[in-house]
Structure 1
Amino acid sequence: MSHAGGVLFLLIVVSYEIASKVEFTNIVCTSLDKEFSDFEYCYLKSVNRTYKYVSAKCNLYQTPVKKVKVNFSLYKRFNGYRPFMYNITVDACRFLKNPKSNPVTLFFFSSFASFSNLNHSCPFSGALFVEKLSTEFINHQATKVLPFPEGDYMIEFNWIAYDINRAVVKLYLTLS
């Protein structure tokens, strides 16, 4: 390839904008131990055709919670949802003390951290929430930082306290 051809190729690659868009399609929150915690609310709200957000609030009843793990799995729809790329369990207390220790977890966590009160390490008490998480930041993460192929996805979060699975949150989205 000539120098001029290489420069043209580089300009095309650099100027190429990924036109992908993330859209939430559903959220389902399930408490597996209502004496330990329960969801006060968990919903997807459509403000208009282009702006949707999710909000969820989980009240903790046996506080302070000092030992938490989170398992998050990414699924892609192929005749039902199938595991896709990630299935990670992380000690949430340790991760929140040093988020840079786990880059993959940090990638997913940073998608919603600024919309939640999960901004400190253990112990946790009261309620945990994510408020008005829109697709704006997730669009940047899923299309520019680490591009994903188009399709329907589900991210499943299992919240494990004291080695018992206490809650499951399933967030469904489409990348087009």
Structure 2
Amino acid sequence: MVAVVVNLFLIRKVHSLVEFTNIKCEVVDPDFCNFEYCFLKSVNRTYKYYVLKVNLYKTPVTKVKLNSAIYKFANGYKPFMYNVTVDACKFLKNPKSNPITGYIHGFFKDISNMNHSCPYDHDLVVDKLSTQFFNDRVTKILPFPDGKYLVQMNWIAYDILRAVFKIYFVLS
């Protein structure tokens, strides 16, 4: 009888988990930038992370917009929750100005060198965006329902699309 009660308690305590499935980094304007590396590293069954480095060829960059969108899979990826475009330079001067962009920026701000305002006169790096950190943000800070997701970021400099970054993950 005690075992049944313990099992029922444990079943109630099941938590959602994030599993990264893919990453895609696409350069739209190779004269402006290039991805030196962009990959998903699987250390073991439970520890995976993303790393990427973007080489900027035309520095300093003083005018950047970011279009961020979240998609959920349902017979193809469909818009889910957010699709926002923000002036990244203005946002980074005042991060509290846009809570949605602040939420998305929160995934990267502590593990990248993209945490200061313009100009950018150096390459951009994201170092080890882990499943544990990602899981915390999509299950505790802003809970998502189970499913397959895509986070797409379109990087626009001087009003020209320069690069597209996509993270695919499953929440179960």
Q: Same fold (TM over 0.5)?
A: yes
State the 1:85 CA deviation: 1.1
Counterpart of 1:86 in structure 2 is 82
Distance, in Å, in 2 between the alignment partners of 1:77 and 1:139 is 18
Cα RMSD, aligned residues only = 1.1
**2:81 alignment partner AA:** M
Q: Conserved in 2, the CA contact under 8 Å of 1:37 and 1:58?
A: yes
State the 1:127 CA deviation: 0.5
**2:84 alignment partner AA:** I
In structure 2, relative to structure 1, the CA distance for the partners of 1:157 and 1:18 (3 Å cut) is farther
Pick from 119, 131, 138: which aligns with 1:135?
Answer: 131
With normalisation by structure 1, the TM-score equals 0.89
**2:39 alignment partner AA:** Y
**1:134 alignment partner AA:** S
**1:98 alignment partner AA:** N
Write the deviation string for residues 37-73 of structure 1: whole angstroms up to 9, x where unpaired. Answer: 0100000000000000000100000000000000001
Show structure 1 runs of 5+ residues with no match: 1-15
Distance, in Å, in 1 between the alignment partners of 2:170 and 2:160 is 31
With normalisation by structure 2, the TM-score equals 0.91
Counterpart of 2:7 in structure 1 is none
Write the deviation string for residues 73-118 of structure 1: whole angstroms up to 9, x where unpaired. Answer: 1000001111111100010000000101111111111112111000
Q: Conserved in 2, the CA contact under 8 Å of 1:77 and 1:152?
A: yes
SS of the residue aligned with 1:137? helix
Q: Does 1:43 align with 2:50?
A: no
Counterpart of 1:99 in structure 2 is 95
Write the deviation string for residues 123-155 of structure 1: whole angstroms up to 9, x where unpaired. Answer: 002211101110222211111111100000000
Q: Conserved in 2, the CA contact under 8 Å of 1:76 and 1:83?
A: yes
Q: Conserved in 2, the CA contact under 8 Å of 1:67 and 1:93?
A: yes
Q: For structure 1, which segment, 102-111 or 43-52, has the greater mean C-alpha deviation from structure 2 after superposition? A: 102-111
Q: For structure 1, which segment, 145-154 or 17-26, has the greater mean C-alpha deviation from structure 2 after superposition? A: 17-26
- Equivalenced residue count is 161
Counterpart of 2:116 in structure 1 is 120
Distance, in Å, in 2 between the alignment partners of 1:108 and 1:30 is 19
Show structure 2 runs of 5+ residues with no match: 1-11
Identity over aligned pairs, percent: 61
Q: Conserved in 2, the CA contact under 8 Å of 1:60 and 1:127?
A: yes
State the 1:17 CA deviation: 5.3
Distance, in Å, in 2 between the alignment partners of 1:36 and 1:65 is 10
The structure 1 segments of at least 4 consecutive aligned residues displaced by more than 4 Å after TM superposition are: none
